[in-house]
Amino acid sequence: MANARQMQGSKRRRRKNDRIDANKLARLGRMDPKSLYPIQHRSTEVREDLLVIRVRDSLVESRTKLISTVRGMVKTMGARLSGCSSVSFSRRAADQIPHEVGETLQPLLRLIATLSEEINGLRSAHRKAGQ
């Protein structure tokens, strides 16, 4: 394998596919093997850390969308929820949601609380693993 970013002549081509790329690499390797730069793969630890970061990011994004959804639904009923942190949202919002939609929105509030627990658990597990 070669690191494409470090190779010469990495201009954009109109016709680009694996067969053309493999052919070019084979010719470069025969003419000047030193022109091919090795790829250095990330270590297992780094890949695991990146995985934790991506999972956490996905959970936070989902929680944020759910919070926005609940706020929007409450607003359509003519009420507003006061500002608070994402972690405490499900607790504080449960008291402020109008009674006529409170039961309907309970599954979303439970899901938000579960996501918050998972985010905190992921953070704690990652810290312990790093020590």
Average pLDDT over residues 45-59: 92
With a cut of 90, say whether residue 69 has pLDDT above it.
Answer: yes
With a cut of 70, say whether residue 115 has pLDDT above it.
Answer: yes
Residue 105, C-beta contacts closer than 8 angstroms, at least 6 positions apart:
70, 73, 74, 97
Distance CA 96, CA 98 (A): 6
pLDDT band at 5 (very low <50, low <70, confident <90, very high): low
Asked if residues 31 and 70 have their Cβ atoms less than 8 Å apart, the reply is: no
> Could you tell me the two tokens for 95?
């008291």
Rounded to whole angstroms, what are the CA distances from 130 to 60, 106, 122? 21, 36, 12
Average pLDDT over residues 1-20: 61
- Can you give the residue ranges of every domain in the chain? 4-35, 44-130
Q: What is the pTM of this model?
A: 0.66
Least confident of 19-28, 74-83, 113-122: 19-28
81 or 7, greater pLDDT: 81
